[in-house]
Structure 1
Amino acid sequence: MNARVVSVSRDAAHRFSKPVVPAITLLASLGVEGDAHCGATVRHRSRVTQNPDQPNLRQVHLIPAELFAELRGRGFDLAPGDLGENILSEGLDLLSLPAGTELLIGPQARVRLTGLRNPCSQIDAFRRGLLGAVLARAPDGQLVRKAGVMGVVLDGGVVSAGDAIEVRLPPLPHTRLDRV
């Protein structure tokens, strides 16, 4: 299966879930037009209180639809936008991609992956027990965060459901994504 966009979401307010919309516009160096997290500097509320001048490495949130299928099997019925993602993808193992991977999305947009979403207690406030379901332990004991990846917009463009996603890996050696 080729990688593609399943749905897109945005919300101008800082709410946990985001409504699905027909299309989003990615703005270079800023993020999703009309989204609360759009901006060159950090917009995540807890990070703004720490240092409002730090660069925004969380401009775009992507989650694989395969996670929703896994969670459905564990009793969590989730719809697109429920976990606050901007882009729900399919056919792409986002969590295994190295830091610096570039995703070409649709005809023009280009996003560079910066790290993993670090799920917080808000996810349990949304659905009790969901935090534990999006965290796991690897065989070596490392914490595995499954709540999606974050990126910055290199080239803007309109993104909508059905758009293709092409992966461009960074030069070797690759560095694993870490929380951002």
Structure 2
Amino acid sequence: MAKVVSINISEIKGVIKTPVAEGTFKEDHGLVGDGHAGNWHRQVSLLANESIDKMINFGVPDLTPGKFAENITTEGIVLYELPIGTRLKIGDTIQEVTQIGKECHKGCAIKNKVGKCIMPTEGIFTKIIKGGVIKAGDSIEVL
């Protein structure tokens, strides 16, 4: 079963995020209080724990949820294989996949600190269709 491992937040974009007990996600905005949120197509970023494990296996130590600046760390779902337009029910929310991967910007704090970034190939972005609360342990359902 696919589930949420962690909700992660930071006030500014492109930095390591801090895990929180739960997050409030607002329609057409994203995670309330997060620097990544706003009225655009990349409101929420998601990365699978399995992708983080790949980096650990490459020899990158001390990787935990939020280190790749993802808002939601997941488990049990291959995010980067979901077609754009796929809708997901996560906690109380409904989200729509808008982008797979991204180009790392120059001076990316994640790449500089971790040495490599997996977000460009395995991270995904969504927009919030229906707002609500998400917490660790919530299920993820492909609609």
Runs in 1 of length 4+ with deviation above 4 angstroms? Answer: none
TM-score by length of 1: 0.73
Q: Which amino acid aligns with 2:127?
A: V
Identity of aligned residues (%): 34
Asked if structure 1 preserves the Cα contact closer than 8 Å seen for 2:84 and 2:100, the reply is no
Aligned match for 1:116, one of 89, 100, 105: 100
Deviation at 1:117, TM superposition (A): 2.9
User: C-alpha offsets along residues 4-34 of structure 1, whole Å, 9 cap, x if unaligned?
Assistant: 0000011122351110000001100111100
Q: Which residue of 1 aligns with 2:79?
A: 94
Structure 1: state its 5+ residue gaps.
Answer: 41-55, 136-143, 169-180
Q: Which amino acid aligns with 2:77?
A: L
Matched, 1:19 2:15: no
User: C-alpha offsets along residues 144-172 of structure 1, whole Å, 9 cap, x if unaligned?
Assistant: 812x100100000100000000002xxxx
Q: Which residue of 2 aligns with 1:126?
A: 113
Change (3 A) 1:3 1:39: same
Which structure would you say has the larger RCO, counting Cα contacts within 8 Å and 6 or more residues apart? 2
User: C-alpha offsets along residues 120-142 of structure 1, whole Å, 9 cap, x if unaligned?
Assistant: 141321222x14xx38xxxxxxx
Q: Which has the larger share of strand?
A: 2
In structure 2, C-alpha distance between the alignment counterparts of 1:118 and 1:102, rounded to whole Å: 19
Greater radius of gyration (CA):
1
Structure 2: state its 5+ residue gaps.
Answer: none
Q: Which residue of 2 aligns with 1:145?
A: 121
User: C-alpha offsets along residues 66-110 of structure 1, whole Å, 9 cap, x if unaligned?
Assistant: 00111111011211100000000000000111010011011x201
Aligned match for 1:63, one of 27, 47, 61: 47
Matched, 1:165 2:119: no
User: C-alpha offsets along residues 40-77 of structure 1, whole Å, 9 cap, x if unaligned?
Assistant: 1xxxxxxxxxxxxxxx1110000010001111110112
TM-score by length of 2: 0.91
In structure 2, C-alpha distance between the alignment counterparts of 1:4 and 1:127, rounded to whole Å: 25
In structure 2, C-alpha distance between the alignment counterparts of 1:119 and 1:65, rounded to whole Å: 20
